[in-house]
Amino acid sequence: MNSVASDPVLIGLDWGTSSLRAFLIGADGEVLDRQSSGEGILQVPDRDFEGAFARLLAPWNAHSNLPVIASGMITSRNGWVETPYVSTPSGADALANALAEHQAENGRTVHFVTGMTDESGGAPDVMRGEETQIVGALDGIGGDGTFVMPGTHSKWIDVRGGSIARFATYMTGDVFAALRDHTILGALIQDGDFNEAGFREGVVAGRDGGHNLLRTLFHVRTLPLFGRIDANMVTDFLSGMLIGAELEATKSVSSDGGPITIVGRDDLADRYQIACEIFDLNCKRAPHDIAARGHFAIATYAGLL
């Protein structure tokens, strides 16, 4: 029997700092259609979120009866409707119970997924949007596990019994760009394509010395100065050192040695995959469209479907 496209049952929004994606979701959680826009929360003119929302969903006005669920930085202080965080441990059920309802000017009701907070590191950690993706990834993968979401602020998320048990943010990408562009480490950098050898050497250096990063970083200057790595390796050596330090530090998060799921399919995820190999960590990639799967799972728990 051939499968036929189901009728849409839900609209999901993943509305972050720099981008906005919308999914038209079917009865099995599959993505039937999608819209995207560059109107991340910091790019919406005059903070007119109502207008941006109406414009984005106009192509789906035939489905004006569908519930809308939204996740991401859109619920932060600089977003549309600020919502409180739920605390770890929490799963799809807790996120469903904490949905914040908002009546939009175009007549639609938006159910905001609130962010999550964690105090396991001795100070607050926060995320908005990643929790929804993890719920979606669990839907596709199931079970316990550790997830890494590389980026400006990498998130490491530990799932136990279907709930997000704890998580930690690493400022790896943000720190990398600042060091490369605004410290002496940039002076000896020669731009070029991805240099995997340099990256691999950096991962090892970060693994072995990342607990003492303020010192180890200076080697990014001295090694090329002494001709021990080439100028075209320096950027990726620095990148590897930071990612290596991150993986070494996350041993306390991913304590069970189980597989690590890398969320993201870009160049950055490739780097993390190489780094996992160097650490002898079993890793795999998350499937596509996990944000939409998370929207579907949370909406299901909330009885919106």
Residues that bind a copy of itself (CB under 8 A): 121-126, 152-153, 168-172, 174-175, 177-179, 181-185, 205, 208-209, 211-219, 222-223, 225-226, 228, 242, 245-246, 249, 252
Separation between Cα atoms, residue 220 and residue 186, nearest integer Å: 9
**Closer residue to a copy of itself (CB): 107 or 122:** 122
**Closer residue to a copy of itself (CB): 8 or 173:** 173
SS3 content of the chain, % helix, strand, coil (to 5): 40, 25, 35
**Closer residue to a copy of itself (CB): 205 or 298:** 205
CB of 196 to a copy of itself, least distance (A): 20
Walk across the sheet containing 260-262 and list its strands. 163-170, 154-160, 145-149, 260-262, 283-285
CB of 87 to a copy of itself, least distance (A): 12
**Closer residue to a copy of itself (CB): 185 or 299:** 185
Write the CA distances from 108 to 56, 180, 205, integer angstroms: 13, 45, 53
Residue with tokens 């190999």: 277
Separation between Cα atoms, residue 31 and residue 247, nearest integer Å: 33
CB of 78 to a copy of itself, least distance (A): 10
Separation between Cα atoms, residue 206 and residue 124, nearest integer Å: 25
CB of 46 to a copy of itself, least distance (A): 21
**Closer residue to a copy of itself (CB): 27 or 225:** 225
CB of 97 to a copy of itself, least distance (A): 22
